Structure 1
Amino acid sequence: MFIESELLTLRKTELSDIDFICGLESEEENAKFIIPWSKKMHEKSLENTDILHLIVQDRNTKCPVGYIIVAGLENNNLSLELVRITIGDKGMGYGKESFRLIKDWAFMKHNANRLWLDVKVNNLRAFNLYKKQGFVVEGILRECLKSDEDFESLYIMSILKSEFEGSKYG
């Protein structure tokens, strides 16, 4: 499976990509905003028919710049969860373009009705990107994650197919 734009290619993750993904997750700038998966968990997800695990790569250089995990491919309610989008090279437009591509795939190719995600309330960079991409805050899971010293809260955000089709976010 390939999804392409002038800037990026999204392709299915292979076993040989897992070290890159785990390295990206362990970078301090990323680790504080996500719940990293183990190498084994990423490997198992590649075999799960309910999960789409994608590598984001620069179309010209073919170098990986991030990854995306989408769950709910078998959801009868046509609701997909954007489990994770992690981009290594910040400020290059890769995140914004990855969102455009994955939303287009979710609503136009997979025919989802809803795409949702959660984001830590202190991850303002991601939160603002999601809002610009048309995601709406549905609620807050208050202090649902235990960190080393405290508890963290998550925003639940979503975009519906009707919002995607009827707006500038498509």
Structure 2
Amino acid sequence: MLSNVPVSFASLQFRRTAEEDLEFVLTTEQHPANTPFIISWTPEQHRETIHSSDKLHLLVETQDGRPVGYLILAGLTSPNRCIELVRITIADQGRGYGKASIRFVQNHAFKHLKAHRLWLDVKEHNARAKQLYESSGFKTEGTLRECVRTNGGYESLIVMSMLEREYEEHGGE
């Protein structure tokens, strides 16, 4: 899994999210640049995830320990070896932190968690994230049409995934 000691990858560090990090997580999640693209959670949902044996809630930091985002993986105990990237939210955008975080997730899922499949869903209108996932080797599987109720009506989610062999073919690190 991942210890409480930060793991360095590319120009970032990844460590388990602690209770004292929740203010940063919630502020990042509720930032106007992020709210159109994610389904916000309560502090209790984040706390439950932090302490779950089936999920991994990680803080993304610069090498000097400045938090720049967070991510959540689920399905760690799946007998099918399917890991879900539940969320990746970057506060300091436009610096390559999202791309480096995706590379970390792929590496961690396939090399350390021994996943067969890594999957995610992304809101249909989130073109920037879709492009990042596609350029990272994820394939579109389909659309969950109008499955998320919002103040403006309903939104669709696109399901994307990558298989272990595709990760290797894509130049897995």
Q: TM-score range by the shorter chain?
A: over 0.9
Matched, 1:106 2:109: yes
Distance 2:33 2:13 in 1: 23
Matched, 1:50 2:58: no
Letter in 2 for 1:75: S
Q: Structure 1: which 5+ residue stretches go unaligned?
A: none
Matched, 1:79 2:82: yes
TM-score after normalising by structure 2: 0.95
Q: Aligned-pair distance for 1:168? A: 3.2
Aligned length: 169
Secondary structure of 2:147's partner?
A: strand
Q: Structure 2: which 5+ residue stretches go unaligned?
A: none
Is 1:133–1:169's contact at 8 Å kept on the other side of the alignment?
A: no
Distance 1:42 1:51 in 2: 10
Match of 1:41 in 2: 45
Matched, 1:90 2:90: no
Q: Aligned-pair distance for 1:45? A: 1.1
Match of 2:8 in 1: 4
Is 1:65–1:87's contact at 8 Å kept on the other side of the alignment?
A: yes
The two structures, once aligned, show a CA RMSD in angstroms of 1.0
The CA deviation string for residues 64-104 of structure 1, in whole angstroms up to 9 with x for no partner, is: 00001000000000000000000011110100001111110
Q: Aligned-pair distance for 1:44? A: 1.2
TM-score after normalising by structure 1: 0.96
Secondary structure of 1:62's partner?
A: coil
Q: Which runs of 4 or more aligned residues in structure 1 lie more than 2 Å from their structure 2 counterparts after TM superposition?
A: none
Percent identity reads 43
Matched, 1:126 2:146: no
Pick one of 156, 160, 166 that aligns with 1:157: 160
